[in-house]
Amino acid sequence: MSNMTEHEETTTPLLQYSSTASHSKLIGEDGEEQSLVQKVWIESKKLWSIVGPATFTRIASYSLFIITQAFAGHIGDLELASMSIAINVILGFDFGLMLGMASALETLCGQAFGAKKYYMLGIYLQRSWVVLSLFCVLTLPMFIFATPLLKLLGQPADMAELSGVLVLCFIPIHFSFAFQFPQQRFLQSQLKNSIIAWLNFVAVVMHLLLNWLVVYKLRLGVIGAALTLTFSWWLVVFGLFVYTVCGGCPQTWTGFSGQAFCGLWEFLKLSVSSGVMICLENWYYKILLVMTGNMKNAKIAVDALSVCMNINGWEMMIPLAFFAGTGVRVANELGAGNGKGAKFAAIVSVSESVVIGVFFLLIIMFFSNELALLFTSSQTVLQEFSKLSLLLAFTILLNSVQPILSGVAVGSGWQVYVAYINLGCYYLLGLPLGVLMGGVFHQGIMGIWAGMIFGGTAIQTLILVIITMRCDWDKEAEKARQLCLS
């Protein structure tokens, strides 16, 4: 990295810990000790300045998929199943990979912003565009050959054929991920969250109106619904790009630079490890959907499980917002050399996310049927869904912890280690246990899902808790400082 020109500071200094302060006291900017309650309040304000807009943004983004599937579901059972496979399996795998690779910016931009190396954020953004665009080209065959791929995975022929056509409509969305996800993390690291939230709000409103027009008025069916999703998604991408390059980030965006092509190998390694870490998590439950497609009465089973996955995915946007907020907060504190601050940020984030997870567990337990009616009016599907609601509730509870600990990993740059943990817990332990319970012991969907939850997700969460508790935060702060100076 080249030396940076001096920039004016745009953020208030981070709270500084004294070496003699107890765990319940903190030295604030005014030099006075602060109580634990004050510490939590201050950290919560910093955290929610990211989590609040990020939650809205992610719910709005995911709602684009939900709205599309809901309209497809009211066309017919085959249309709902095919759209669910296209979005949750093919596009979902791609979404997880690209989102994970873009998460490398949460480490680099967050630490650079904490260290006040502002102009490097724009360089990192451009490097991410280069790397993710390359991967979009490399993974394009997955979209082109979706139909034979789905048939190879055992999906019914009619579902695979229609899903393959829908996936072709999603190719523009595939390339949009390479630009949108890095831009979101670039802006998020600077606490410029409001523009992301507003653009997604506009996109959701437009998407709802377009689906109503295309499906009900113009009668263009499920293909029309897929094309409206492409339009709505690119609306956000163009809005973020215009804001970024046209003066919205005067200190962190200084124009296109040849430096974007320097240090690509190190950036690529961090991006790939981030992508693998998130993709292994994201794809884990997509496999459950694929395995369900191989069962008897597949359409009903896939429809019921799709409703579960959609509700879980909708609620999952909140833990993912905490994932982003935790990554930024931890990276900011480490970049500023404040190891204790990074540890405290992680504790506050996990605690608040668990409280929210318990709340939604109760919502699922008491109002599951009402939520399912958003996606289908089929009594057969509703009955199948009611059997799965308990597992859905436990999945949501575990998801209130695991992504936040992954956010700590991203903020600290531990992506490689977490990728290995995810591979071992999910695919060497959880998935075989799910197959054993579902296939050998003939427990069906519930057996597969239960095995994957308690054999994979729960163990992975426990390991991340132990790693986070044993972390030497002062050492991590020094490593972050060296990274920012390199």
pLDDT digits (tens, 9 = 90+) for 373-428: 877 777 888 888 888 888 889 888 988 888 888 778 766 777 778 778 888 888 88
User: Could you tell me the end-to-end alpha-carbon distance of the chain, in angstroms, rounded to an integer?
Assistant: 6
pLDDT digits (tens, 9 = 90+) for 330-341: 888 887 888 888
- How far out from the chain centre does Cα 302 lie? 23
Q: Which stretch of DSSP H or E encloses residue 340?
A: helix 339-372
Q: Which stretch of DSSP H or E encloses residue 63?
A: helix 36-73
Q: Is 55 exposed, middle or buried (0-12, 13-18, 19+ CB in 10 A)?
A: buried
pLDDT digits (tens, 9 = 90+) for 78-91: 888 888 888 888 88
pLDDT of residue 136: 92
Q: Is the pLDDT of residue 25 over 60?
A: no
DSSP letter for 260, please: G
pLDDT of residue 298: 64
Q: Is the pLDDT of residue 293 over 70?
A: no
pLDDT of residue 440: 77
Residue-wise over 286-316: b if at least 16 C-beta within 10 A, else e? Answer: bbbbbbbbebeebbbbbbbbbbbbbbbbbbb
Tell me the two tokens of residue 299: 């359409």
Q: What is the mean pLDDT of the chain?
A: 81
Return the closest-CA partner of residue 235 out of 64, 117, 371, 375: 64
Q: How far apart are CA 182 and CA 387, in angstroms?
A: 39
Residue at token pair 């949108």: 180
Task: Return the top range by mean pLDDT from 72-81, 91-100, 284-293, 423-432.
Answer: 423-432
pLDDT of residue 144: 93
- Contact, 356 vs 399, CB < 8 A? no
- Contact, 330 vs 413, CB < 8 A? no
pLDDT of residue 54: 82
Tell me the two tokens of residue 100: 């994970």
Q: What is the mean pLDDT of residues 294-310?
A: 73
Number of residues that this document lists for the chain:
486
Q: How far apart are CA 358 and CA 353, in angstroms?
A: 9
Task: Return the top range by mean pLDDT from 50-54, 141-145, 283-287.
Answer: 141-145
pLDDT of residue 138: 92
Tell me the two tokens of residue 4: 């940076």
Q: Residue 184: which residues within 8 A CB-CB, separation 6 or more?
A: 57, 102, 196, 240
Q: Roughly what angle, to the nearest 10 degrees, separates helices 379-399 and 339-372?
A: 170
- Contact, 97 vs 135, CB < 8 A? yes
- Contact, 389 vs 383, CB < 8 A? no
- Contact, 431 vs 456, CB < 8 A? yes
Q: Is the pLDDT of residue 12 over 80?
A: no
pLDDT of residue 13: 33
Tell me the two tokens of residue 55: 């939650």
- Top pLDDT among 192 and 355 is at 355
Q: How far apart are CA 181 and CA 479, in angstroms?
A: 26
- Contact, 113 vs 411, CB < 8 A? no
pLDDT digits (tens, 9 = 90+) for 63-78: 888 888 888 877 877 8
DSSP letter for 20, please: T
Q: Which long-range contacts (CB under 8 A, 24 or more apart) does 48-52 make?
A: 48/325, 49/191, 49/193, 50/188, 50/191, 50/193, 50/321, 50/324, 50/325, 50/328, 50/329, 51/321, 51/322, 51/324, 51/325, 51/349, 52/193, 52/321
- Top pLDDT among 101 and 1 is at 101
Helix (H, G, I), strand (E, B) or coil at 8: coil
pLDDT digits (tens, 9 = 90+) for 341-367: 888 988 999 999 999 999 999 998 888
Q: Is the pLDDT of residue 241 over 90?
A: yes
Q: What is the mean pLDDT of residues 14-22?
A: 35
- Contact, 58 vs 321, CB < 8 A? yes
Residue at token pair 């956010």: 407
